[in-house]
């Protein structure tokens, strides 16, 4: 079955370029185009596409408002196209809050280039979102919940409906001594690698795809929580972190595949919305309870192997596909904290995090994977689950409350 796409952009160049790329792939069918948000809503209702590519700034109705209407009236996976500026990042995150599933940078030079770079990225995202089929024929695709006979629906949209929680004003300043430390060993020494001596455990019921019952999940004995995600991650992280009160007894590391400008804006938005303190990590930041550090885009975040209460922010190996990489952060956590790590792998394309999860598992750490039905893209969690590395498979809505329970116990 081909994936049906509606292309929305007021720029003739971008509209035609997107259509040109998509029509070269037999797995994709361009069912229509629109030049403004109002026309996009009308054609989304009439054509019922599987995926919509959506510009942000358009006449009559902008992309964000169009997404809101589409998600309310005819839910569809939306791929936003936006600039890599601070303002572009802010607007894109607003679109994700409105219900968009993913985004691509709108860099005129990249789109004019006839090389395979932007073509590959666009096709990859369209195929992933279209194959996911959270929404079918203009209505929310329903999943039957394993713990209930009643079917439930999930659009995977997060909305900050509740008031912004009050956060303690105290902040722990960065120590000046971090600047005087000698450089850490090269990142490649910390990179995860498949170890022949370690065999993944045989797949359990969870590994076969069964979702865990949160009432029976035992919180592990840990000292740090590390969360990795990609496509759909902004919504998933906001859902989880806003459920956690300020008294969370562990430090949290967040790895979200994003460019540099986006991670800075995303950390600021999370910090406003959450009781936890959230900030984009800088080299030498201390780990402390109630603080979530977000890996900066274009760089790698590791736990300092010599001072395990600090993080290192490094360029990392140029050959790595992802910057930041979940594998890198997981691997450093395995070395620094061993079994005392709770790792979460959330929605995202590809398999980043699987090799790092293998190292964590070898050390005795616990790994929770997001369930298939609650993922925007079941790629990264699926890789971990299929490798037999997941201790629990949890619906997104259950993860935040399970973490929040630890604050009440502390």
Tell me which residues are annotated as active site: 230, 257, 352
Whether the link from the prior residue into 324 is cis, omega within 30° of 0, is: yes
Distance, CA of 61 to CA of 230 (rounded, Å): 29
Within its chain, how far is the Cα of 30 from the centroid?
27
Place of tokens 């979940």: 326
For the record, the structure tokens of 327 come out as: 């594998």
Closest Cα to residue 26, out of 110, 126, 117?
126
Distance between CA atoms of residues 266 and 182, nearest Å: 31
Which of 137, 132, 16 has its CA nearest to residue 79? 132
Could you give the CA distance from residue 61 to residue 212 in angstroms, rounded to a whole number?
42
Tell me the C-alpha distance between 349 and 343, whole Å: 18
Instruction: Report the alpha-carbon distance of residue 158 to residue 374 in Å, rounded.
Output: 12
Instruction: Spell out the alpha helix ranges (H) of 193-276.
Output: 233-241, 260-273
């Amino acid at each position: 079955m081909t994936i049906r796409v509606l292309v929305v952009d007021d720029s003739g160049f971008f509209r035609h370029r997107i259509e040109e790329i998509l029509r070269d792939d037999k797995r994709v069918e361009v069912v229509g185009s629109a030049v403004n948000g109002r026309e996009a809503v009308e054609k989304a209702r009439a054509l019922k596409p599987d995926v919509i590519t959506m510009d942000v700034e358009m006449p009559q109705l902008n992309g964000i408002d169009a997404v809101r209407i589409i998600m309310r009236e005819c839910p569809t996976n939306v791929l936003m196209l936006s600039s890599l500026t601070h303002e572009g990042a802010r607007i894109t995150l607003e679109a994700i809050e409105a219900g968009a599933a993913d985004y691509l940078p709108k860099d005129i030079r990249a789109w004019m280039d006839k090389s395979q770079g932007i073509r590959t990225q666009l096709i990859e995202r369209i195929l992933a979102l279209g194959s996911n089929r959270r929404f079918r024929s203009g209505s929310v695709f329903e999943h039957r919940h394993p713990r209930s006979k009643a079917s439930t629906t999930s659009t995977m949209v997060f909305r900050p409906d509740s008031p912004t929680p009050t956060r303690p004003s105290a902040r722990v300043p960065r120590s000046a001594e971090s600047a005087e430390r000698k450089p850490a060993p090269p990142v490649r020494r910390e990179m995860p690698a498949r170890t022949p001596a370690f065999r993944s455990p045989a797949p359990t019921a969870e590994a076969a795809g069964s979702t865990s019952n949160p009432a029976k999940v035992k919180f592990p004995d840990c000292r740090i929580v590390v969360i990795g995600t990609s496509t759909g991650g902004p919504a998933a992280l906001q859902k989880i972190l806003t459920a956690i009160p300020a008294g969370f007894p562990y430090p949290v590391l967040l790895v979200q595949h994003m460019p540099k400008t986006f991670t800075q804006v995303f950390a600021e938005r999370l910090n406003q919305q959450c009781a936890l303190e959230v900030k984009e990590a800088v080299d030498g930041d201390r780990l402390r309870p109630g603080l979530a550090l977000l890996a900066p885009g274009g760089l790698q975040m590791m736990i300092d192997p010599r001072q395990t209460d600090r993080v290192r922010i490094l360029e990392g190996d140029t050959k790595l596909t992802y910057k930041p990489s979940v594998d890198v952060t997981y691997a450093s956590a395995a070395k620094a904290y061993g079994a005392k790590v709770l790792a979460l792998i959330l929605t995202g394309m590809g398999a980043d995090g699987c090799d790092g999860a293998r190292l964590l598992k070898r050390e005795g750490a616990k790994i929770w994977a997001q369930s298939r039905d609650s993922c925007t893209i079941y790629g990264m969690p699926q890789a971990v689950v299929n490798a037999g590395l997941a201790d629990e498979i949890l619906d997104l809505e259950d993860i935040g409350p399970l973490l929040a329970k630890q604050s009440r116990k502390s």
